[in-house]
A = this chain, B = another copy of it.
């Protein structure tokens, strides 16, 4: 592997000059530049990223902390983020936190040690104080951390109301909500949206915890239905739970959507594998990923101005689980 010194020697110049053409910084004579470029090509030279990091105290990589790589929502987000970041010459370092604070603090140490240029964080447990002794730019995705930390989110609250309104338009009035875990931002927001919309419409509320899990949600469905047989629709806090609802209803022999309609939230592929296919509020994953990548890069480059917080709307995808003759 060639070093800058070898390039300099071949080109008959000093390493400083080579460094200048490498970073297109400072004045370099036209012919000198040409000689250097030839030498670079001849030696198939690439600057050593580690040495650069050591000096610059910054690398061309971005840390990305997600809570759970096995939740299909996140891999899609990762892909979107990677698209914009690699396009700008950055590498994404992906970390799985499992929402474990010890792990998170290790990850943050590691990111500092690796001189990452910035960080993208999806977490309900990371608070501003965890980030206080970290001097690198951070953008929160999918949930806010604090008003001081830039964020890119989804209008969970408003879109949840929209889901409920859609069910009402379809003729439902006894709408149950299987909600996600406590203290999880998206879960709380969607729950709040459900409550407010139902209250606004003067409709009764039926709520149980499903914890964003399939099995829990299946069970919750059955017990809720036992208590309130009049339920004519389920709004699940995410698609995984909605699939659980569909499983239970199917096993109970309840026709979907004729007797009970089901709507989810997320837009993951699972929703299309079940029968009937799941109607859902599809999250704008591409937009989330691209915007957060761009925002972070802008902040890193110091070229960002204006609002620190962005949010996008989920989009209703009507499929079979609500498309009855209704």
Contacts and interface: CB of A to CB of B under 8 A. Distances in A.
Interface of A: 1, 46, 48-51, 53-54, 59, 69-70, 72, 75-76, 78-79, 82, 91, 93-94, 96, 109-110, 112-115, 214, 243, 247, 250-251, 269-270, 272-275
A223 B54 CA distance: 60
A249 to B, nearest CB: 10
B109 A214 contact: no
A50 B113 contact: yes
A258 B272 CA distance: 24
Nearest to A70: B75
Contact of A53 (B50, B72, B272, B275): B50
Nearest to A214: B273
Given A72-B72, A214-B272, A247-B275, A113 B79 contact: no
Nearest to A106: B86
A114 B61 CA distance: 11
A44 B72 CA distance: 38
Contacts of A96: 78-79, 82
Nearest to A64: B94
Nearest to A98: B79
Majority SS of interface residues in chain A?
helix
B94 A94 contact: yes
B275 A275 contact: yes
A130 to B, nearest CB: 16
B49 A114 contact: yes
A145 to B, nearest CB: 23
A245 to B, nearest CB: 11
Contact of A109 (B46, B51, B251): B46
Contact of A50 (B1, B72, B115, B251): B115
A76 B70 contact: yes
A243 B277 CA distance: 13
Given A72-B72, A93-B93, A251-B275, 7 more contacts: A48-B113, A49-B114, A69-B69, A75-B75, A214-B269, A247-B273, A273-B273
Given A69-B75, A79-B70, A273 B54 contact: no
A65 B34 CA distance: 37
Given A50-B53, A113-B46, A214-B272, A78 B82 contact: no
A243 B69 CA distance: 22
Given A50-B53, A251-B275, A272-B214, A79 B69 contact: yes
Given A50-B53, A54-B50, A79-B70, A274 B272 contact: no
